[in-house]
Structure 1
Amino acid sequence: MNEKKYEILVAEDDADIVELMVLYLENSNYKVLTASDGVEALEVLKDNNIDLAIVDIMMPRMNGYELIKKIRETSNIPIIIVSAKNSDSDKILGLDLGADDYVVKPFNTLELVSRVNSNLRRFYDFNESKSSEAEILRVGELELDTDNLILKKNDINIELTPTEYKILSLLMKKPGRVFTKVQIYENVKGEYFESDDNTIMVHISKIREKIEEDSHNPKYIKTVRGLGYKIENIQ
């Protein structure tokens, strides 16, 4: 995977954490650039060809949430949040703004490197293969163009984050099939960790808010209690 030396941005104001991340990422053959706040991170992004960003939330000058919003205005690179903020509302906000993954401090550095590997692999494999596998997926009023990454409901465009798109695409390719949270995570992101359990729930919740008339009584994405999720086979 690392024949190309991928460039990783670490936006973090804790020097000890930065030093640890740089050590492990460089040992995994990544080129690492660092920034101690959001403003500096934007400068690094502007001047370099960054492949993935690791972003802390609580930074001076510009916090991580604002940085993610700025990145998503021009780029769809994978973004991993690494933060001491561990409430569901913090995770929902970060993922809703467009982050692909959320790691809570203190974290296992080897796990973080594994998440970097998985996010990069999924991102580049997905971009390389999507054109050759282009198709229009239809379920009920939903229409997903897998070539142009456009979701429509009754001919009205619905914006999705990259991760939401991948989850919905997985479900729409096999209507009626139940996917466990582990299967969804591994298909969309790669290796699954126990701490990822709530992450999939958050993504499913956000997708429902965008495609359902009533997200609390969903027509499309159903929860199969004790198993996982499926999208109904609606003609």
Structure 2
Amino acid sequence: MKRILVVEDDSAIRELETDYLEAASFAVETAGDGRTGRDRALAEDFDLLVLDIMLPFVDGFTICQAVRKAKDVPILFVTAKQEDSDKIRGLGYGADDYIVKPFSPAEFVARVKAHLARYERLTGEREQRHKSLVFGLLEILPEEHRVYRGGEEISLTRREFELLLFFAENPGIVFSMDTLFEKVWGLDAIGDTATVRVHVNRLREKIEPEPAKPIYVETVWGAGYRFKG
């Protein structure tokens, strides 16, 4: 269940926001002043923050600025301040949305759901980009274009790395040399499938403990090559 922190000094609005969010199956925590809200937002893990701007002790802008420096979490302002300058200021501090009171509770919940979904998607994409591929002692870091075997970095050319990454992203599948040439070298390549054989041999020399007895890039006679994950 997603946890949401509502920082709002008006008890009626705070209860309204809480009721609608809980009805949408969110776990809601609240704070009635800016200092408490700021401290909780920084000390605890919430999936989304709902902030008023005009708060006792510490205003919403200050909370937003402090949280944004420390955490990556959706922040929504819900406030009576309607001036464009306030909206620009809030978004400039890193808020994701700005909702003006009075607001439609249904729209409020819809925006909360939309921002949570957006952050989940972006977080998943970032994790996927930085995720390493590990096969025994072999570790491939796609985003950094680096390869390690037993903790020691291996130097690969760009094409060798692209070939290895294609294999690693498709373990267990047999690829013909024609298919590898098409997938890795693409339309801008000049040469024939013998190029694939040469690069596979070079790759084996660098990543295999015993190139003559490969454990990663396996030859499937009469068919092509297969990466053993």
Residue 2 (structure 2) pairs with residue 6 (structure 1) = yes
1: distance between equivalents of 2:36 and 2:128?
A: 38
Runs of 4+ in 1 over 4 A off after TM superposition: none
| CA drift at 1:47 | 4.2
1: distance between equivalents of 2:6 and 2:86?
A: 20
| 1:12–1:107 Cα change, 3 Å | same
Residue 38 (structure 2) pairs with residue 42 (structure 1) = yes
State which of 106, 109, 112 in structure 1 corresponds to 2:108: 112
For residue 34 of structure 1, what is the amino acid of its counterpart?
Answer: T
Q: Tell me, yes or no, if the aligned pair for 2:8 and 2:52 is still in contact at 8 Å.
A: yes
Residue 87 (structure 2) pairs with residue 91 (structure 1) = yes
- TM-score normalized with structure 1 length: 0.54
| CA drift at 1:130 | 3.0
State percent identity of aligned pairs.
Answer: 39
**Structure 1 unaligned blocks of 5 or more:** 135-146, 149-235
Residue 125 (structure 2) pairs with residue 123 (structure 1) = no
Secondary structure of the residue that 2:63 maps to in structure 1?
Answer: helix
Aligned partner of 2:24 in structure 1 is: 28
For residue 93 of structure 1, what is the amino acid of its counterpart?
Answer: R
Greater Cα shift, 38-47 or 96-105: 38-47
1: distance between equivalents of 2:75 and 2:41?
A: 12
2: distance between equivalents of 1:46 and 1:105?
A: 26
Secondary structure of the residue that 2:128 maps to in structure 1?
Answer: coil
Greater relative contact order structure (CA < 8 Å, 6+ sep): 1
Instruction: Say how many residue pairs are matched.
Output: 132
RMSD: 1.7
1: distance between equivalents of 2:99 and 2:20?
A: 16
State which of 55, 64, 68 in structure 2 corresponds to 1:68: 64
Secondary structure of the residue that 1:81 maps to in structure 2?
Answer: strand
**Structure 2 unaligned blocks of 5 or more:** 131-142, 145-229
2: distance between equivalents of 1:99 and 1:83?
A: 13
- TM-score normalized with structure 2 length: 0.55
